[in-house]
Structure 1
Amino acid sequence: MHIEQLYTGCLSEAAYYVESNGEAAIIDPMRDIESYLALAEKRGAKIKYVFETHFHADFVSGHLDLSKATGAPIIYGPQTKANFAFKMAKDGECFPLGDCSIEVIHTPGHTLESSCYLLKDKSGKGYAVFTGDTLFVGDVGRPDLAQKGELLSSEDLAGMLYESLQEKILPLADDILVYPAHGAGSSCGKNIGASTQSTIAEQKQTNYALQSQSKEDFIKVVLEGLAEPPQYFPINAAINKNGYDKLDEILQRALQPLSTKEVEDKSHQDNVWVIDTRNKETFVQGFIPGSIFIGLDGRFAEWAGSLISFDKKLILVTEPGMEQEAMVRLARVGFDKMIGFLEGGFEAWKDAGLKTDMIIDVEVDELAMDIPFDEHLLVIDVRKEIEFADGHVKDAVNIPLSSLTDPASMSPIEDTDNIYLHCQSGYRSVIAASMMKKQGIHNLRNIVGGWKAIAQEKKIKTAKSPAILN
């Protein structure tokens, strides 16, 4: 028996390669399937099954391409409805894999079709359970992501999740390994733990959702404090349910080198956005006017899906050689209208003598000096509401980055304001600055180091929201 977790950090997503006696199964594959094919070839195994725990909302799965490449059937749990050929397994059905087997455990709650897969050794003893978004380390899957047409409330799904955990997960043996589909940072849970694996015993002891409580109490606690899900979640879930173009075909269309003149001409079109993927320190020093920063060194794909309309045509500015990496990451969350990249990168744009823009970085001590004397100074905190509530600059305005797609979010800003932007450490505030500039707001500065630096500056008054103080 051999298990490998293939973890994609920028999406906090875990896919799994499970092998026994030359036969392999892939659980929850990403859209770019080469790593699974290469691993099976390296180990001399044949991929026999493609298991999906549910219709993922945070990324486009590789189930279709992997099935076509290997001939392996796609397997979902009960109550699955999809527009492609798949095997709908029964609750408790077992699939032989070499000397082992994989049992389907239907666990509705995160979604209707959500299922876990219990790996049993050759003696039939449970060894590991692949829990998808039903059970995370320290958390459970959100029950508020029901797709259009399911006619189920969040409370309905939360109640189903309670029953799934009580009847299907808690009875499992304590020594069984737990392999979830996501780790910390994923928006599929509320507060997922740092580890990407655990045991049933450990989760019984530490996971709030597995503690002794009534169904009513569980529903209340699992639904409270949920942030608004990223706007691309329903789009990705629909793609996974309805099908998609092959990744190779998308990349063939997307990997087109564009001259500076072509980029300049196309960037003025309303339906074209220029996305700059360089690191934030480089971006702020100079960029194409109107381009949006989303750096590859952060949660690139998630923020792209949250902030960019899927009907936009995208041109990328990257460090030379990073074009395909950026486009694969965009395709992972469903973007398929990428039309090319700036050949030669931003250096080519500068060398052509074309107009550039920049963002002014300021250190936190400069903010401290300006606050008492600038009556038009406005601090905008682009962190999440829960981060803002836990501590913020006194009189700061909270405009979470995810809300900047709504023009109404700019209503607190006056033409005379001198804007100082910050997030937790600097990545999100540079995205926010680029988006504001695209909307014509240029009188802004980015605070280097964000809240981490501000909290250390004793000359700046800070506050907490009353709900946190009480």
Structure 2
Amino acid sequence: MKVEQIYTGCLAQGAYYITSKNEAAIIDPLREIDPYLKRLQKDNVKLKYIFETHFHADFVSGHVDLSKKTGASIVYGPTATPEFESIIATDNQIFEVGDVKLKVLHTPGHTMESMCILLIDENGKESILFSGDTLFLGDVGRPDLAQKAADMTQEQLAGLLYDSLQNKIMPLPDDLTIYPAHGAGSACGKNMMKETVDTLGNQKKMNYALNQPNKAAFVTAVTDGLLPPPAYFGMNVAMNKTGYDSFEAVLKTGMKALSATDFEAIAEASGALILDTRSNDDFAQGFIPQAINIGLNGDFAPWVGAMIVDVKQPILLVTEIGKEEETITRLSRVGFDHVLGHLEGGFQTWKSSAKEVDRIDRITAEQFAKEVNTAENKIIDVRKETEYEAEHIENAFIKPLAYINEWVKDTDPKEHFYLHCAGGYRSMIAASILQARGYRNFTEVAGGFNAIAQTGVPKTNFVCQTKVFK
């Protein structure tokens, strides 16, 4: 038996590859399936099952394409209603892969069809739990995502999650290895550890959700402090449930190289969003008017989902040369399949064509320190509220990037303001969106709060934001 965690940091997502004898199973695969196919061929094993722990909201799984390519059966938990051929498992149903058994544990709460998968090894020992979004390390799955589909409140779903954990997971042996579907950084939980593997025994000791005295306390603890889910989540659920275009077709269209003239013509004719994935430093120095900057070297896919929202939005790409395929791949992971092509030769092609170029008014932290008066100048901080509460520039306004569509409506385009985040990544996203919407009377600060904190600009005293759940 061999078990491998395939962890994708930018999505904080774990897929799992299991082999025994000449058979294999994959749990929660990513959208692009070629790496799995190559692994199967290399190991000379046949893929027998593709397990989906639930209908994922934060990414589009590769289950449909992988099943078509390999003939493997897709397996969902009880109550799932996918619109393609699948095995809908019953609670405690066992699936054999070589000499190991994979036992389905129905654990509703995060979603109604959620399941965990208990691996029983060659010796009959319960050794691994693939816990999906039911149990994370340091947390449990948020119970508010399935409210509409389940016609239940988040409190009712949290109650179901409590029962699932208490009845199905807590009785399992302490030495059981826990492999969750997500880690720190995922929007599917609020208090996840940076580690991606642990034992159940340790989680029983330190996971706040597993240490509540009763169901009422559990419901209160897990629903406290939940931020609204990203708007694209529902669209990803729909794609995972109904199916999608093959990744190969999506990649082929997106890899269409366009001249500056063709790029401009398609942008005007299609209403496509121009997405520039270069670094914020490069983008600030010049970009195509109306382009939105979301840098590839950051939490790219989640921010695309949060900012663009509509997965059917046509997109034209400007990337660093050689990064076109990676960009299309990472967009497809969160369901943005309608990439119409990319600017051949990158932004330099646009500049060489003598077409109009726009720029962001950006200054260094040192310049900011020289010219700003925190009592008189307006400063907008686009970090998360917890970052702001920990430490911020005196008198700065907190307006998180995630809510820009709300706060931009109340922003006076005639009033100058300074804009910053932690390091420049998020503030440049905000700056590009603001400028595309006609707001130009602002100055963005390179290096963000991290750089500003090294200057003499007045700031509040640091307050640790580690939250203790009781």
Q: 2:101 & 2:149 partners in 1: Cα distance?
A: 35
RMSD: 1.9
Alignment of 1:284-303 (within 5 A): 284-303=284-303
Cα deviation 1:57-104 (Å, max 9, x = unaligned): 000111111111111110011111111111011111111111111011
**CA displacement at 1:2 relative to structure 2:** 0.5
Alignment of 1:219-234 (within 5 A): 219-234=219-234
1:434 pairs with 2:435: no
Q: 1:148 & 1:215 partners in 2: Cα distance?
A: 22
Q: 1:261 & 1:374 partners in 2: Cα distance?
A: 48
CA contact (8 A) 1:24 1:48 kept: yes
CA contact (8 A) 1:368 1:460 kept: no
Alignment of 1:26-425 (within 5 A): 26-146=26-146, 148-268=148-268, 271-308=271-308, 309-372=310-373, 375=376, 377-404=377-404, 406=405, 408-425=406-423
Q: 2:156 & 2:374 partners in 1: Cα distance?
A: 54
**CA displacement at 1:455 relative to structure 2:** 3.4
Q: Which amino acid aligns with 1:122?
A: E
Q: Percent identity?
A: 48
CA contact (8 A) 1:15 1:27 kept: yes
**CA displacement at 1:48 relative to structure 2:** 0.8
Q: TM-score, normalised by structure 2?
A: 0.95
Cα deviation 1:183-228 (Å, max 9, x = unaligned): 1100011121100111101111111111142101110010111111
**CA displacement at 1:324 relative to structure 2:** 1.3
In structure 2, relative to structure 1, the CA distance for the partners of 1:373 and 1:143 (3 Å cut) is closer
Cα deviation 1:342-375 (Å, max 9, x = unaligned): 0111001111111111223322232222222894
Q: Which amino acid aligns with 1:446?
A: E
Q: 1:432 & 1:58 partners in 2: Cα distance?
A: 22
**CA displacement at 1:453 relative to structure 2:** 2.6
SS at match of 2:59: coil
Cα deviation 1:256-290 (Å, max 9, x = unaligned): 11110122233345731100011122111111111
Q: 2:375 & 2:221 partners in 1: Cα distance?
A: 44
In structure 2, relative to structure 1, the CA distance for the partners of 1:97 and 1:311 (3 Å cut) is closer
Q: 1:269 & 1:461 partners in 2: Cα distance?
A: 48
CA contact (8 A) 1:133 1:141 kept: yes
Cα deviation 1:102-150 (Å, max 9, x = unaligned): 0111111100010000111112111111001111111111101015332
Question: Which of 451, 454, 468 does residue 452 from structure 2 map onto?
Answer: 454
Q: TM-score, normalised by structure 1?
A: 0.95
SS at match of 2:336: coil
CA contact (8 A) 1:421 1:429 kept: yes
Alignment gaps of 5+ in structure 1: none
SS at match of 1:379: strand
Q: 1:135 & 1:424 partners in 2: Cα distance?
A: 30
Q: 1:268 & 1:370 partners in 2: Cα distance?
A: 40
**CA displacement at 1:451 relative to structure 2:** 2.1
**CA displacement at 1:412 relative to structure 2:** 4.0
**CA displacement at 1:464 relative to structure 2:** 8.1
In structure 2, relative to structure 1, the CA distance for the partners of 1:127 and 1:373 (3 Å cut) is closer
